[in-house]
A and B are shown apart, each in its own frame.
Chain A
């Protein structure tokens, strides 16, 4: 049973560029959440996708956008990159069909983005 997969594993960009990160959820999961983990910090919630729509969003600017495909995979796009966007970007999948409070988010290995 494949877990959550993310690509690429590492990425280097320059300020002002745009980046797209990809995530495939664990088999049987229909919900994808994205988190940003700055060095030495805990992950921070960016947004969550379910049924191809953004369900909830954390405190991140509109430069951060996403998409979910019919096969439940997801993309995170970041425009006009800033130095402060350098971080580990984590994708987590879960199943909203599970009784509320019982669901667990499973994380992928992350994509490490460096903005120069």
Chain B
């Protein structure tokens, strides 16, 4: 079945450091891929998405490219800020029609000043 494997955390970085959070997936067909972010005490917010191979999603300085050949969707940011501290979830949308989401286990990022 469909699944997402996400880099385990937690990840601690200094402000302005480069961020990579790895995500690989297993799916039949051609899923859409997402990164969601969850700030403390809040629900999930969509960060970015990509719907087909080689698409690049980007938002708020974060980027991820849909790589079909490596079944990956790694999240990157060139210079993190303290306000980026949160839990990041990689997810895929199945293609059965309901388009429910399969999530990874999440990666907690802490950025220190």
| Contacts from A to B (Cβ < 8 Å) | 4, 33, 35, 40-45, 48, 55-56, 58, 90, 92, 94, 100-110
Contacts and interface: CB of A to CB of B under 8 A. Distances in A.
Given A42-B89, A42-B106, A55 B45 contact: no
Contact of B46 (A42, A56, A104, A110): A104
B27 interface: no
A107 B96 contact: no
Contacts of B51: 101-102
A48 B101 contact: no
Contacts of B26: none
B80 to A, nearest CB: 22
Nearest to B45: A107
9 contacts: A42-B89, A43-B89, A43-B103, A56-B97, A100-B95, A101-B51, A103-B99, A104-B49, A105-B99
A105 B102 CA distance: 12
B99 A100 contact: yes
Contact of B98 (A41, A56, A108): A56
Nearest to A50: B98
Interface string B69-113: 000000000000000000001010101111111111110000000
Interface residues of B, number: 28
Contacts of A42: 4, 6, 89, 91, 103-106
B44 interface: yes
Nearest to B108: A40
The 4 closest A-B pairs by CB, nearest first: A42-B103, A56-B98, A107-B44, A109-B43
B45 A48 contact: no
B43 A110 contact: yes
B98 A55 contact: yes
A64 B101 CA distance: 18
A40 B89 CA distance: 11
A40 B9 CA distance: 11
Contacts of A101: 32, 51-52, 93, 95, 99
Given A56-B96, A56-B98, A108 B103 contact: no
A45 B103 CA distance: 9
